[in-house]
Structure 1
Amino acid sequence: MDRRLTPATDRVALRGSGIAREALTDGRPMRLAASVADLLRAPGGARDRQLLQGADVTLIDERDGWGFVQAAADGYCGWVALSALTGVRPVITHRATAAATHLYPAPDFKQPERTSLPMGARLAVTGIDGRFARLAEGFFVPAQHISDTPAEDPTEVALRLIGTPYLWGGNSRWGIDCSGLAQAALHGAGIACPGDSDLQREAFPETSMIQRGDLLFWPGHVAMALDAATMIHATAWTMSVITEDISAAIARIDAAGDGPFLGARRPRLDDRIAFP
């Protein structure tokens, strides 16, 4: 079993998962209250991925201030700080669609911001006040930075993150990796996508003709095609999100010993996720 997709710890399993443990649980629906939180492979351990504000999860186990959860969006499992979770779950109506945005205590951009949110954060909007949307938590967010409908083109979502610093396991504007960028782009268009590049490669069918929106794979790396000749990716080569000529990238990666190029895969446009 792939631990990343296995809703069980060494002592507790999610009921109905078919996994045998000394205890079974139905889990507890929770939501991420923090702007961004690391999803760890063990309590206090290494980061696998990140969760963004508003992400719905099922809490399966608890240990020393950490909770073992399964993310609703992609089934990814891991440990997150319990302090980052809340049981308060107002109806989600929108997502943040700008690369990043701020929350304010009043509908006034001259007020000191209270926190920042990354693209992909899920929000419960209760009303509109001028150029701001009022959230259930009482904060205000610029209305032009959110949407209740998915983007039509995942590459346009990816391009919003140009220049974002590279971060292993990152999923946000503050830092993102190759598979995080691919997932952010596809999720922003309402298309299902796993969290890691090997899972992404397994999930989508091969294609011999590269077109806009296809995913391009190397061992441990993924990029998204902007057209037949150009791609966008988060790369440790520049420690940022960049666009690059596909042929040049294939040659560069191969010369560095990180190849070979494994080909292109086409996301399933009819495999949708809940949006927002």
Structure 2
Amino acid sequence: MTAYDPRMTPANGHAAAYELRGLVEATRYVKGTVRTVQQPLVNLSDSPRGERSSQLLFGEAFRVIDERDGFAFGQSLRDGYCGYVIAGALTRQEAATHWVAAPATHLYPKARLKAPPEVAIFFGSHVRVTSDLGDFKKISTGHFIPTGHLQSLRARFSDPVGVADMFLGTPYLWGGSSRWGIDCSGLVQMALVACGHDCPRDSDQQRGVGRELHPDEPARRGDLVFWKGHVGFMSDDTTLLHANAHHMAVAYEPLTQACARIAAGENGAGSGDVVMRRRVETGR
């Protein structure tokens, strides 16, 4: 049978999505059940108890294809990425009305500034608002979120670099997708999605986003620069904004400096010379 990218193929041998019947081998083929993440973050791993490949955020939807031994295998509806999550991190599907547009926000037990918050959730998380109290909005869990930290579900930013800048100083975390920790492709994905652009999870997949720049085209804000295993945003024509293992954080860096360091093998993730530059048109 045809080889498929396992990152994007909802099949694990035990079960496969029904649309893959005849394309991949599986014991059974299922429609799957869409569930909602009920934890602030949950790791999406390449195998049960395996290494983190990505993360899902509070309120995000996950299509469960198979469940056994406390783990659910399935597919993120954010980007189609497949893997395993702890089954207990999921609950019944719930339609969201808003998303968190601040780097992080607290869930307050009462609609009062001094009420001790119980937990934080992160940029990109989805929530269902049940009532508007002015400075706070009540969500379906019974918690309250500052109104200024939320946007309606269809609202989007216009500048991906401005979004990425909100993560400045965030610790580098392989497979991370939040202010708690993020990697290079996670930063690019979160910024582009927040601006209304579809964007896959990994840097090799992101080489298909936008259009490739000609070698003589000058760089501008928002352009993507790719190395083998690494990606970052140009914040202007000379400066890179990227999550990287050299700084172990999201940081600004002169492009020439980053190129020299990565070519010398000092990045920790990414190697060699620049392999591609791409431009995602913002419509502005």
The answer on whether the counterparts of 2:13 and 2:25 sit within 8 Å (CA) in structure 1 is no
Q: Give the Cα separation in 2 of the matches to 1:261 and 1:123.
A: 39
- 2:237 paired residue number: 228
- 2:166 paired residue number: 160
- 1:265 paired residue number: 278
1:214, CA displacement in angstroms? Answer: 1.5
Residues 20/268 of structure 1: CA separation in 2 closer, same or farther (3 Å cut): farther
Cα shift readout 1:82-132 (whole Å, capped 9, x = no counterpart):
00001141x311111111110011111211111101111011112211311
- 2:196 paired residue number: 190
- 1:246 paired residue number: 255
- Among candidates 131, 136, 146, match of residue 127 of structure 1: 131
Q: Give the Cα separation in 1 of the matches to 2:172 and 2:205.
A: 20
- 1:10 paired residue number: 13
Q: Give the Cα separation in 2 of the matches to 1:204 and 1:14.
A: 29
1:242, CA displacement in angstroms? Answer: 0.3
Q: Give the Cα separation in 2 of the matches to 1:268 and 1:55.
A: 26
Aligned residues: 269
Q: Give the Cα separation in 2 of the matches to 1:137 and 1:190.
A: 27
Q: Give the Cα separation in 2 of the matches to 1:244 and 1:143.
A: 34
Q: Give the Cα separation in 2 of the matches to 1:268 and 1:82.
A: 38
The answer on whether the counterparts of 1:43 and 1:63 sit within 8 Å (CA) in structure 2 is no
Say if 2:118 is the partner of 1:114.
Answer: yes
1:204, CA displacement in angstroms? Answer: 3.8
Cα shift readout 1:14-37 (whole Å, capped 9, x = no counterpart):
001243312000000111111100
- Among candidates 46, 49, 53, match of residue 51 of structure 2: 46
Q: Give the Cα separation in 2 of the matches to 1:267 and 1:76.
A: 21
Cα shift readout 1:240-266 (whole Å, capped 9, x = no counterpart):
000111122112211237211112112
Unaligned segments of structure 2, at least 5 residues: none
2:234 maps to a residue whose letter is A
Q: Give the Cα separation in 2 of the matches to 1:189 and 1:125.
A: 22
Q: Give the Cα separation in 2 of the matches to 1:96 and 1:15.
A: 33
1:260 maps to a residue whose letter is D
SS at match of 1:260: strand
Measured on the aligned residues, the alpha-carbon RMSD in Å equals 1.4
1:269, CA displacement in angstroms? Answer: 5.0
Q: Give the Cα separation in 2 of the matches to 1:165 and 1:141.
A: 24
- Among candidates 102, 115, 119, match of residue 106 of structure 2: 102
- 1:273 paired residue number: none
Give the TM-score normalised by the residue count of structure 2.
0.91
1:268, CA displacement in angstroms? Answer: 5.9
The percent identity for this pair of structures is 41
- 1:211 paired residue number: 220
2:98 maps to a residue whose letter is H
- 1:274 paired residue number: none
> After superposition, where does 1:66-81 map in structure 2 within 5 Å?
66-81=71-86
1:7 maps to a residue whose letter is P
